[in-house]
Amino acid sequence: MDISFHIQRAVEAIKKADAILITAGAGLGVDSGLPDFRGNQGFWKAYPPIAKLGIEFQEMANPDWFDTNPQLAWAFYGHRKNLYKKTEPHRGFQIMLNWAKQKENGYFIYTSNVDNHFQKAGFDENRVYEVHGSINHFQCVKPCSYHIWDAYDVDINIDMNEFKAQNPLPKCPKCGDIARPNVLMFGDWTWVSNRSDDQAVRYHNWLEELQEKQARLVIIESGAGTAVPTVRMQSQRIFRELAADFIRINPRDYTVPEGGIPLPMGTLEALETIEKKLD
């Protein structure tokens, strides 16, 4: 593969675009130092205590733990929350934000990430669609209502030797039961989706506006794997429906539909390489 050829294609696509759609999966955060949980070995490397229990990622990311073992559930999600909070988004976020701000018809973020790093990097929160929710927002575990509250400043104390969250655990302010992150988990029938639903309405309204204006859209996808293909499927659907340009940045799963631009590179490396060519 001639990577320099595809880099130049990406440069031209970004240059001529009227709007940017950034679609992102867990791999986007790798350059910030975050784990992407690729396969059980990657997950267990990040969480040795869970490796000892032999629990797989899809099994751990399940709301049932908040009923059966809330201290373990909050150790897992609390550790992730604390990690995301102290980690700074890598420079690639700023590069994309600079491009996005220059576009006549603006930008939108479509992400399966729950870390709020786009907002932390300066992206407008009204231009972000978090399809799996946010770890910095909580809800009731039952739930007793549709109430979702901002919990960014809540830190979870964890005994890392025992891998147990310490009391008091977060509680629902309405009924006093255990709270949980407002994150869509596997086998999750109790996720309160109204926050993400509101984001979805803004996102789809923006896409409709682009279609009406016949605006030229470029999709920049980063870190979206094939294990949970939500982001990849969205990128490819919009690529077809809006006749957009499509850049897929992924060091492993970089294959694209015909007409797409594959960049088999890490996110930061790819974005910095494009940036130099754009200057």
Q: Could you tell me the CATH number of the domain that includes residue 152?
A: 3.40.50.1220
Q: Which residues contact 177 (CB under 8 A, 6 or more apart)?
A: 140, 141, 142, 144, 171
Instruction: State residue 49's pLDDT score.
Output: 86
Domain count along the chain: 1
Give 250: exposed, middle or buried? Use CB within 10 Å, 0-12, 13-18, 19+.
Answer: buried
Instruction: Quote the pTM value.
Output: 0.95
Cα-based torsion angle of the residue sequence 71, 74, 78, 79 in order, rounded to the nearest 10 degrees: 60
- Distance in Å from the first CA to the final CA of the chain: 25
Instruction: State residue 220's pLDDT score.
Output: 98
- 3-state SS assignment for residue 59: helix
Q: Tell me the C-alpha distance between 97 and 266, whole Å.
A: 18
Instruction: State residue 38's pLDDT score.
Output: 65
Instruction: State residue 121's pLDDT score.
Output: 98
Domain housing 150: 3-278
Block means of pLDDT (10 residues each) for the chain, length 279 residues? 94 98 95 79 82 89 96 96 95 98 97 97 98 98 98 95 95 98 97 98 98 97 90 98 97 94 97 94
Instruction: State residue 52's pLDDT score.
Output: 87
